[in-house]
Structure 1
Amino acid sequence: MIDKFKQRETMKKVFKLEDEKKHPDRVIEAIKHEVRKYIKREKKKTLPEGVDFWKFECKSAIDDEEVKEIDFLEITKAIDEASIKKAKTLYLEIIATNGYKEKKENNEETETE
């Protein structure tokens, strides 16, 4: 039996954006690759019964700023923003949660002629 209260998989990580041995662009690409790899791995997991898709809740913080929620589609923008600001660290948190499609209500009102 599947435990309904099982802890969800999360990625909580502080990435260092400065590495003496690597070019800054290569560090950014490595971070993006790691994030994409995590998301791909999570999407492959079987969905619990009644769940339509995996939904990802994301949070981000640059250096010592306050953690703020971001949209799933803005992850790469957050990484690029940290690079542009020449930040030293980037905190990313990605939580895979259950996603449900919105059910469309059938309007019984039809066009009257």
Structure 2
Amino acid sequence: MRKTFPLHIEGKHPDRLLDATKHDIRKYLKRERSRALPEGADYWDFDCLLGLTKEEAVPVRVGELIAQVDALAKAGAAQFYVQILACPGQRKTPPPKDGEVIEPPTAAPYVGD
């Protein structure tokens, strides 16, 4: 998703526009997370950029994205640019402590109906 969202449109309440943009961002994230993962990937990771314009956009963690959008709106921004790119991620296991043996997790057996 690469999009510039306006926060001030004549005839529309700014709070409703802000809610609509946050809804679009959450809907996009949900849709991307539901896609099938490629071989060897554990989850979908997101590379996010946020700023007033495309040229001013800076990297933002996906968990902080909505809070940063709220901060831009509170600062009185007329619009903002957001870029969200999904990329497959693989979880890294922490290194074992001295003398500790880490076994891979086992899946519980499926008990069908």
Category of TM-score, reference length = shorter chain:
0.7 to 0.9
**Alignment partners' CA distance in 1, 2:5 and 2:22:** 11
Aligned to 1:85: 75
In the alignment, structure 2 segments of 5+ residues that lack a partner are 101-113
* Secondary structure in 2 matching 1:77: helix
Structure 2 counterpart of 1:87, one-letter code? A
Number of matched residues? 100
Aligned sequence identity (%) = 36
Q: What are the residue-to-residue correspondences of 1:1-113 with 2, within 5 Å?
A: 11-63=1-53, 66-107=56-97, 109=99
Cα deviations across residues 30-75 of structure 1 (Å, max 9, x unaligned)? 0000001100100110000100000011100025772110111111
Tell me the SS of whatever aligns to 1:79: helix
TM-score, normalised to structure 2's length? 0.81
Q: Distance in 2 between matches of 1:64 and 1:48?
A: 29
Greater than 6 Å deviation, 4+ residue runs: none
Structure 1: how far apart are the matches of 2:54 and 2:39? Answer: 40
TM-score between both structures, scaled by the size of structure 1? 0.81
The amino acid that maps onto 2:6 is K
Question: CA contact under 8 A between 1:43 and 1:54: conserved in structure 2?
Answer: yes
Give 2:25's aligned amino acid: V
Q: Give the aligned CA root-mean-square deviation in angstroms.
A: 1.7
Q: Could you tell me which amino acid in structure 1 is paired with residue 96 of structure 2?
A: N
